[in-house]
Structures are given as structure tokens and as C-alpha cells.
Amino acid sequence: MNTWNIQWKNPWKKTIALGSAAFLLGGSAVYAASPVTQTGGSANVESVQDAPMPLPLTEEEISAQQLADAEYMALLWMRTSAEYRALCYQGYNAALMAIDRAQADPAARSGKPLAIVLDCDETVTDNTRAMAASVADGNGRFNALWWRATVHEGRSEALPGAVEFLNEVARRGVAIFYVSNRWSEVNYEPTIENLKALGFPSVDAEHVLLMEDRKMSDKQPRFDRITEDYDVVVYMGDNAGDLPLGTKGMNRAARNAAIDAAQEEFGTQYIVFPNPAYGSWVSALAKDYMTMSPEAREEFYAKTLTE
């Protein structure tokens, strides 16, 4: 029988006794006595021997640890979990089924050539390896260094099933448009080279539409250019802004309302990929979230998670 004497030092000033196992969750500091094995009677019994407590972390250290641990858990899930892979396959399969329906009933469409519109990063390309390295180096996911290095050096990888999916779309004669907010001025050539090296089809100036103006990240104008000549079957992305729902600049409540209003389109016309690591959802948490002090963030977490 494993007997553990564990206390969880919660950032919200609560101490909770735990039993059976120890986990590090959400940046909380877990203190556990060291187990030793003793022999008693005919069976070996593990018991706990008190060990000196480590020095308590400072508030700054706790905050940094919380952020790093939260980032690690999100990235671990994206990089290792079967569930994440399954959701990628599910998204691509849903898109192919939408194409099947569109091609089976051309009379119900506009008569324009069919197309799909998709984001690149964390939709068909995978940047989590670089994000993980940035977290390990202490920079975190919100530091732009990992992004610059990955995109400028063309080190993005392909998500599970992405290459096969896009080549099947191309085989069916459906146009593919990559609409990404990578900045065209510095990222266009590396992006083209990277996508081609990964084996993606339709990688050229007509089909890869990056952000031209850093002050204009709204994708709607690019969507409008595409729909002038094409009938878009599905929009795909990991961010609400990857869909033509007008969520750019909206706060959390408005973004959620926009999604709720379009609920019947998800899984058919709109396909969303999970991304707990970064995205507009983070800055939409609160107006000043990105500049909150560690103490203010802890208070915000406690309040928001129990609303």
C-alpha cells in the first residue's frame, strides 16, 4: 500500500491534502515526503519517511512555474496525445465529406469552382516542437522568438493526416487556399519552401495568401477575394478568426455569441482544430489579460474558472 503525505500549495492561498499519488498541475507546488521500502511480516510495505521540506517558492517563482507548467501540459497534449491526432483526422474527414456532398449535388451550389480555405499553423502545419523549446528556454509561448525562428527558417512540420488530406482534395479537383497571418514581407519565401518540402499541393502565389499589412490581420478581405471566383465548401482553422464570422477584435462574450449563432455550420462548413497553446482566445480572456501582473492573473483565474 502506498501512503503519501502530500500537500498542494495552491496559488489561491488554499492548502489541500491529497492521497494516493502526486501530480504537478497548473503550476502548483507539490511537496511530498520521500518513500522508503520497509519489510513487515510476509509482505513488503512501502511507507513514508519524513524529509526536509524544500524552501517555499517566491510569488514570482510560483507565477513563472504556473505559466510554464500550463504551457507544458497544452504542448504535451498536442504533441503526444492520441486524442489530438484523432481530432486532426476527424477534421480532415469532415472536410472530405463536405466536398463529397458538394460534388454530389452541383445544382445546389453556385456554379463557381469549388474551393476550401484553411489556415496554416496548427491547422495543417505543426509548430509545437519550436513552442516547446521556447518554453524550455524560459521564453514561453507568447515570446515571438520561437515564431520567428520556426517560420523564417521553414521548420514547421505537418499535422497528422494533413499532407494526405490536402493531396486528396487536389486530386478531386477542388482548389486549396492557404490564408495565413504569417507576415508576407518576411515570411512568404520560407513559407512557400516549407509547404512544398512537406508535400502540400497548390503552393504558389495564387493560393498562398499571407498577411500583407501588419496592421490588418483580419482575414475577411482575403476571404472576399476568394469568394469572388470560387464557391468555398469549407473554412478550416484553429482560431475563430480563420472563419468568416467577423470575430476580429471581439471580446470573449461576443466571440462566444458569434460561435453560438453559427452552431449549425460547425462540422459542415466550418471545421475547427483544437489549440490550447495560443490564439486569439488568450487575449480575449480579458481586456488587459496580456499585461496583468502575476497576482492579478491568479485572481482572474480563480474568478473565471468558478463563474
DSSP code string of 179-248:
EEEEEHHHHHHHHHHHHHHHT-SS-STTTEEEES-TT----HHHHHHHHHH-EEEEEEESSGGGSSS--T
Least confident of 27-36, 133-142, 263-272: 27-36
Rounded to 5°, angle at Cα 41 from 37 and 47: 25
| Cβ proximity of 30 and 8 under 8 Å | yes
**Confidence at 55, pLDDT banded by 50, 70, 90:** low
Note the pLDDT of residue 138.
Answer: 62
H/E segment holding residue 132 = helix 128-136
Q: 180-226: per-residue pLDDT in tens?
A: 999 999 999 999 999 999 999 999 999 999 999 988 999 999 999 99
Residue 13 reports pLDDT greater than 70: no
Q: Which fold has domain 64-283?
A: Rossmann fold (3.40.50)
Question: Domain map of the chain by residue range?
Answer: 6-56, 64-283
Residue 36 reports pLDDT greater than 80: no
Residue 241 CB-density burial (10 A; 0-12 exposed, 13-18 middle, 19+ buried): buried
Note the pLDDT of residue 29.
Answer: 30
Other CB atoms within 10 A of residue 203 CB: 20
| Cβ proximity of 141 and 122 under 8 Å | no
The three grid cell numbers given for residue 62, joined into one nine-digit string: 510560483
Q: In angstroms, rounded to a whole number, what is the distance separating the alpha carbons of residues 241 and 259?
A: 11
Q: In angstroms, rounded to a whole number, what is the distance separating the alpha carbons of residues 272 and 236?
A: 6
Q: In angstroms, rounded to a whole number, what is the distance separating the alpha carbons of residues 8 and 17?
A: 6
Name the phi and psi angles at 25, rounded to 5: -125, 130
No. of H helices and E strands in the chain?
A: 10, 12
